[in-house]
Amino acid sequence: MDLDLRKLRYFVVLAEELNFGRAAGRLHIAQPVLSRQIRALEDELHVRLFVRDKRSTELTAAGRQLLDDGKPLLAAAEALKRRVAQAARGTTTFSVGFMPGITVTDWVRAFGTQHPDVEVELVRTTWNNQVDVLRDGRVDVSIVRLPIDQRGLKVRPMFTEPRVAVLPADHRLAGKESIEIVDLAAEHLLNEPGAVPEWRDISVQLRDGTAPPARGYTSIEEKLEDVASGQGIAIIPKSTSEYYRRPDVTQVPVGDIGPNHVCLAWIAPRRSPLIHDFAEIVG
């Protein structure tokens, strides 16, 4: 049996929405059409993907597995189409994703010297999409900050750097030469808790169950706005805090948390000579 990527796309959207009406709206199809396509997919796979009643739609264990495996498959298909279209146009481009605070100029110049006929495109990424841009083909390589989902990726360490606490300028800890993570136990952390496991282990909010849902920031600028306005504090790499300095925010070193690890990542099965050459340049 060949898996129908259109049905898989319908499934992924429905799995994200868990509502047939909203999913059909996103897909620009009628709800009965979506229902028929999902039933057809279940028949083809010989499994039940959703449990549905009058009040809710939930994924089964098989559905959760298909979602985990299906999203990278769809992203790989999109990436394939982009690379084929590029080849058809007769152009050679090499796209590099990079996180805030990381300067890629020297590496890009060195790569351009080796490959003067290749057009290099730079894509600024965020915590939320630094891996997505690889999986959907927007970039060939991505300079990422760990932790990331490394499934299907080749990840090469580059360097580490210390992390700092970013606080409002009038915060009680502002001006300290250094603090410990326990000093932040009562603070509201704007990072995803999993990104700072040291804080997660001592957080008052997490212990008491009073932590509000984590906000999905699309840029470091948004996060710093919330820090400046007293909405919370953030733990970020030192280079990022220095690059985005502002007078209403201050940084304080945190002595007992691990460094941020910066790595070069790309899709593991790809064997492009350009990826190899760029990886050699960044070391």
**Residue 244 maps to which CATH number?**
3.40.190.10
HSE, side-chain direction, 13 A CA sphere, residue 11: 30
Report the helix count and the strand count for the chain, using DSSP H and E.
11, 10
Range in 46-55, 93-102, 109-118, 260-269 with the lowest mean pLDDT:
46-55
Tell me the C-alpha distance between 253 and 47, whole Å: 52
Residue 79 lies in a domain: no
| 90 pLDDT tier (thresholds 50, 70, 90) | low
β-strands 57-59, 50-52: how paired?
A: antiparallel
Residue 80 lies in a domain: no
| AA identity, residue 272 | S
Q: Are residues 134 and 265 in the same domain?
A: yes
Tell me the C-alpha distance between 271 and 274, whole Å: 9
Q: Are residues 139 and 277 in the same domain?
A: yes
Tell me the C-alpha distance between 268 and 265, whole Å: 9
Instruction: Name every residue whose Cβ is closer than 8 Å to that of residue 35 and which is 6 or more positions away in sequence.
Output: 20
* pLDDT for residue 92: 78
**Does the pLDDT at position 131 exceed 70?**
yes
Q: What is the DSSP letter of 258?
A: P
Q: Are residues 278 and 250 in the same domain?
A: no
Q: What is the mean pLDDT of residues 143-172?
A: 95
Last residue of a domain, one of 44, 73, 102: 73
Residue with the bigger pLDDT between 238 and 81: it is: 238
Q: Are residues 17 and 29 in the same domain?
A: yes
Name the average pLDDT for the chain: 90
Q: Are residues 234 and 170 in the same domain?
A: yes
Residue 81 lies in a domain: no
Q: Are residues 51 and 97 in the same domain?
A: no
| 138 pLDDT tier (thresholds 50, 70, 90) | confident
Residues 108/141, Cβ–Cβ less than 8 Å: no
Tell me the C-alpha distance between 13 and 22, whole Å: 9
Residue 68 lies in a domain: yes
Residue 244 lies in a domain: yes
Residue with the bigger pLDDT between 169 and 217: it is: 169
* pLDDT for residue 156: 97
Tell me the C-alpha distance between 106 and 112, whole Å: 10
Span 22-79, pLDDT tens digits: 999 999 999 999 999 999 999 999 999 999 887 889 999 999 999 988 887 887 787 7
* pLDDT for residue 232: 94
Q: Are residues 102 and 45 in the same domain?
A: no
Residue 145 lies in a domain: yes
Matching residue, tokens 């250094």: 178
* pLDDT for residue 159: 96
Residue 62 lies in a domain: yes
* pLDDT for residue 52: 86
* Structure tokens, 96: 């590099």
Tell me the C-alpha distance between 40 and 27, whole Å: 17
* pLDDT for residue 34: 93
Residue with the bigger pLDDT between 211 and 66: it is: 66
| AA identity, residue 35 | S
* pLDDT for residue 1: 58
Q: Are residues 40 and 96 in the same domain?
A: no
Q: Are residues 118 and 146 in the same domain?
A: yes
Residues 122/96, Cβ–Cβ less than 8 Å: yes
Range in 75-84, 107-116, 182-191, 236-245 with the lowest mean pLDDT:
75-84
Q: Are residues 128 and 14 in the same domain?
A: no
Residue 196 lies in a domain: yes
Q: What is the DSSP letter of 191?
A: S
CA distances from 90 to 86, 96, 114 (A): 7, 20, 20
| 217 pLDDT tier (thresholds 50, 70, 90) | confident
Q: What is the span of the domain harbouring residue 134?
A: 92-160+261-282
Q: Are residues 67 and 99 in the same domain?
A: no
Residues 28/15, Cβ–Cβ less than 8 Å: no
The structural domain count of the chain equals 3
Q: Are residues 115 and 225 in the same domain?
A: no
| AA identity, residue 199 | W
The DSSP line for 151-177 is: TTEEEEEEEEE-EEEEEETT-TTTT-S
* pLDDT for residue 49: 94
* pLDDT for residue 157: 97
Residue with the bigger pLDDT between 259 and 195: it is: 259
What CATH number corresponds to the domain at position 34? 1.10.10.10
Residue with the bigger pLDDT between 86 and 213: it is: 213
Residues 214/194, Cβ–Cβ less than 8 Å: no
Q: Phi/psi class of residue 131: alpha, beta or left (left: φ > 0; alpha: ψ in -120 to 50)?
A: alpha
* pLDDT for residue 91: 61
**Does the pLDDT at position 88 exceed 80?**
no
Burial class of residue 164 (count of CB atoms within 10 Å of its CB; 0-12, 13-18, 19+): buried
